[in-house]
Structure 1
Amino acid sequence: MAAEQQQRGIRVTQAELLCKDACGYYGNPAWQGFCSKCWRERTRKAEADRQETGPHNDAGSPLTFSKFEEKKNMEKGRKVNTMRRLFWGGPSPPKRPESSEGQVATLKAYQSIEPGDFTSFLKLLRNPSSQRLQSRCTAFLNTMEAYHGLPVQKQSDLVQDFYQNIAVHFSSLSEIQVSQMMEHMEKLIMTRLHKWVFCHDSCDDEVKDLALQRRIRSLNWVTPHMLRVPFPDERAEVVSDPFLPAITAIIEMDAKRAPQDKLTCVCKCSQNVFQALSTSNSEPANADDYLSGLIYVVLKANPPRLHSNMQYVIRFGLPHSLMAGESGYYFTNLCCAVAFIEKLDGPALNLSPVEFEGYMQGRRAPSKRGSERQKIARETQDQLEDLKGRQEKVDQGINALKEQLQHWIQSVKAQIDEVTSQSALTQEKIKAQSEFLQSHSVSTLTQADDVKDQSVLLLDGQESNNNTCLTEAEC
């Protein structure tokens, strides 16, 4: 019994998850076991060594294809340096100026932002006091879009350099607040750049996506028992697959744009795996159970564009999100799960090579013991198909709503233009009427003065006649 407990799950020690350089951060199979920081330092050092030795060529020796590639890489490096000069105005980032009162007030406003409140961050970014930060973001986005044809690894280096330089703007905040602000910056930048850098033409991500999907589809016969995943007892009444919430979460990763949002889906998936393990087993779930359960979830979900999504997070995610913490641990285990699936063989499932080949070729099928599990798996698959269909309908509804919104905006603009033109005509009419009434009142006053003068003359004439009559009478 004790031996069975020791062999429970697929074993991966904590040391195997950490960086090979023993820096204390999590490593990753995509970086050959190193963390992102150590891996970038190694690749940049190797690239610098190649550039130093590349231009030298012995006299009279022919220019080989490798020399041509080195020259091509040097030209790409010059383009990257040109982009950096466009961002910073020089080969190196500008020094941070002393904070003015407005900048201090803005930083205090950044401190008041709640974690995950991206809307408030955007509102603060539009303030006049954040103009410098906003200008740097806009310049970076415009230049990245203009140079979207660069190799994806060069674009990754530029984005990571941007993260390091922009973090200086928040250096007066605490470490936790800097991490929160940088997560907002990552979401702002990568939501715009997603369409340019995801599944880039310079890499073979799409080919590897198809290969991984075919590999997972060929392993649809693998049962939880083969992976030694704790599952509800056969005698217990099972309504649905307890791992269904985890499967749904890992599928949702492809719909997100920002690397941080994709990592959130990975964390949600892993938390649901632990929740399913706690309900399926009387004993507390350990790290081996978790990895086995995560492999089962990946096999059953077969997430769309899984390789591309993982590479996108690796290339453009914030380093602190992958190197440490809960998200780093969960993502490292996901990479280990995918690597395990790609190399899965008979001994890993306690099967002989003949048995494994028979399953792969469809000559064998899981025993009746797993029939209930297969039924649950089919129901889960049907639910997933229904979920995908509903997601497509939601996407169509969103697109239709966007079109209606555009039409409504255009109609409002047209109405505003019409009202503006009518208002101008009305003002012209009012002005003309005012001028007419003013001229008419002047003429009326003139006529009244004439009538008054005539009345005065008549009265004077009558008074003179009366005086004459009085004179004659006296005579």
Structure 2
Amino acid sequence: MLAEQKRGIHVSQVELLCKDGCGYYGNPTWQGYCSKCWRKRTHKTETNRQENEFEEKKNVEKGRRSSSVMRLFWGSPSPPRQESPETPVAALKAFQSLEPGDFPGFLKVLHSSSSQRLQSQCTAFLNTIEAYHDLPIQKQSDLVQDFYQNIADHFSSLPEEQVSQMMEHIEKLIMTHLHKWVFCHDSCDDEQKDLTLQRRIKSLNWVSPQMLCVPYPNGGSDISDPYLPAITAIIEMDAKRAPQDKLACLSRCSQNVFQALALTNNQPANADDFLSALVYVVLRANPPRLHSNVNYIIRFGLPQSLMAGESGYYFTNLSCTVAFIEKLDGPSLNLTPEEFNSYMQGRRVPPQPLEGDGKKRARENREQLEELKKRQESVEQGVRALQEQLEQWVHCVQEQVDEVRGQSTLVHRCLAEALEKPTGNVRDHSLSALKDGVDQRIKYKESS
């Protein structure tokens, strides 16, 4: 069925790469370029040169004034304090001994005396950004990216893999503190775009896996949905503060998508299968503040995390997914414009999937349980009726026994009085026989 339909979502590996041919992943937000090439294109060389000249002049003037003040009070400037050459070496060795992902260990080394210079740089940068948090968001993004580049030089003597690990720790440290200042910043329209995208996804809640050509088990429900772990993972992305933690949620979501495709498809998943399934997951999840999260990762994430590797591939596909949802139309779902508009306006509902064996068995089990429940209620009702009848019978018998006992007591009393009077033998024999008859009747009533 899926093979007969023309897939509306198609993307090749080449289309995911940067338009400049650098070999890294591009992004629709950067008009198909990677972050490195995009920054080169958007930042004019002349503007940078002028800003650098202005900064140099300002630093020279500031240094001149400082030297004048120092000479005024101290006579001559004191030489700068020299840092022991063994101190940075010891710090680098401590950083190098850390296990991958050991962020608490990184913080412990950072707060040690051997890493005082690096700690001071991080603290000064955080204070600067917090003090100037009203700057435009793009300017703050440039400052953070420049800070990453400067700090990377501090670890330049380490192997490349360890440099990446140290920069991930630096990113987590910096952005965990700056998240409240730069996420969904007032200088941009991320919040409005979040609401627009959320309404767009909500209006597409009728899109079925079959329309997207997503391999999906027949008769599936929310409980048996193989994509449910992926949906949960991408929803958790908004709760994270560091860009790498958000990318970790996306990676977990994407891996769950591939696992679901492997369970529902007999052949290995390709790029089109993955992208279609990711579109379905996003439509089902409708993640909170998705647009803001994507832009936050783009602005403040490490460039190497977005340009290459699994995280870069997954993030590029997520960006393509958002762009696809924003432009989704009838031909993308193998629908005519009239059918697409009917679904969007609620005048038409998608056909229900065929009932599979698992759902059929579940339905039969539910019917059997309902039948057993009805039979149990009927039995319980009969038991209650029988119990009421038994109680009535016992009550009736008890009344008869009490009545007979009352009569027998009266008869015994009369007989006793008659026996006390002197009479003939025949009369005594008759009274004794009458008494025996009454006793037997009482015993018969009690036994019944």
Once residues 194 and 4 of structure 1 are traced to their aligned partners in structure 2, the CA distance between those partners, rounded to angstroms, is: 45
Q: Equivalent residue for 1:158?
A: 143
Decide which structure has the larger Cα Rg and report it: 2
Structure 1, residues 86-117: CA drift from partner, whole Å, max 9, x if none? 9xx99xxxxxx998222212211111111111
Once residues 365 and 278 of structure 1 are traced to their aligned partners in structure 2, the CA distance between those partners, rounded to angstroms, is: 29
Q: Equivalent residue for 1:305?
A: 289
Of 21-30 and 37-46, deviating more is: 37-46
For 1:196-345, list aligned pairs within 5 A: 196-234=181-219, 239-345=223-329
For 1:80-229, list aligned pairs within 5 A: 100-229=85-214
Deviation for aligned residue 1:6? 9.4
Once residues 120 and 16 of structure 1 are traced to their aligned partners in structure 2, the CA distance between those partners, rounded to angstroms, is: 40
Deviation for aligned residue 1:156? 0.1
Q: CA RMSD in A?
A: 2.9
Structure 2 unmatched ranges of 5 or more: 65-81, 360-448
Aligned letter for 1:124? V
Once residues 296 and 46 of structure 2 are traced to their aligned partners in structure 1, the CA distance between those partners, rounded to angstroms, is: 22
Q: Equivalent residue for 1:31?
A: 30
Once residues 179 and 264 of structure 1 are traced to their aligned partners in structure 2, the CA distance between those partners, rounded to angstroms, is: 15
Secondary structure at 1:227's aligned position in 2? coil
Secondary structure at 2:176's aligned position in 1? helix
Structure 1, residues 144-199: CA drift from partner, whole Å, max 9, x if none? 00000000000000000000001111011000000000000000000000000000
Aligned letter for 1:301? A
Runs of 4+ in 1 over 3 A off after TM superposition: 5-9, 236-239
Structure 1, residues 8-42: CA drift from partner, whole Å, max 9, x if none? 57210111101110110000000011000000011
Secondary structure at 2:3's aligned position in 1? helix
Once residues 85 and 310 of structure 1 are traced to their aligned partners in structure 2, the CA distance between those partners, rounded to angstroms, is: 37
Q: Equivalent residue for 2:19?
A: 20
Q: Is the 8 A contact 2:133 2:181 kept in 1?
A: yes
150 and 6 in structure 1: CA distance in 2 versus 1, 3 angstrom threshold:
same
Once residues 131 and 91 of structure 2 are traced to their aligned partners in structure 1, the CA distance between those partners, rounded to angstroms, is: 31
Deviation for aligned residue 1:371? 8.4
Counterpart check, 1:351 vs 2:335: yes
227 and 106 in structure 1: CA distance in 2 versus 1, 3 angstrom threshold:
same
Secondary structure at 1:299's aligned position in 2? helix
Once residues 350 and 285 of structure 1 are traced to their aligned partners in structure 2, the CA distance between those partners, rounded to angstroms, is: 21
Secondary structure at 1:269's aligned position in 2? helix
Once residues 9 and 264 of structure 1 are traced to their aligned partners in structure 2, the CA distance between those partners, rounded to angstroms, is: 28
The TM-score, its normalising length taken from structure 2, stands at 0.71
Deviation for aligned residue 1:295? 0.2
The structure showing larger relative contact order (alpha-carbon pairs under 8 Å, at least 6 residues apart) is 2
123 and 39 in structure 1: CA distance in 2 versus 1, 3 angstrom threshold:
same
Q: Equivalent residue for 1:10?
A: 9
Deviation for aligned residue 1:369? 2.5
For 1:46-61, list aligned pairs within 5 A: 48=47
Once residues 200 and 237 of structure 1 are traced to their aligned partners in structure 2, the CA distance between those partners, rounded to angstroms, is: 39
81 and 237 in structure 1: CA distance in 2 versus 1, 3 angstrom threshold:
same
Deviation for aligned residue 1:368? 2.6
Once residues 22 and 99 of structure 1 are traced to their aligned partners in structure 2, the CA distance between those partners, rounded to angstroms, is: 45
Aligned letter for 1:181? M
Q: Is the 8 A contact 2:10 2:272 kept in 1?
A: yes
Once residues 259 and 5 of structure 1 are traced to their aligned partners in structure 2, the CA distance between those partners, rounded to angstroms, is: 40
Secondary structure at 1:220's aligned position in 2? coil
Aligned letter for 2:189? D
The TM-score, its normalising length taken from structure 1, stands at 0.67
Q: Equivalent residue for 1:369?
A: 353
Q: Equivalent residue for 2:439?
A: none
Aligned letter for 1:36? S
Q: Equivalent residue for 2:389?
A: none
239 and 211 in structure 1: CA distance in 2 versus 1, 3 angstrom threshold:
closer
138 and 355 in structure 1: CA distance in 2 versus 1, 3 angstrom threshold:
same
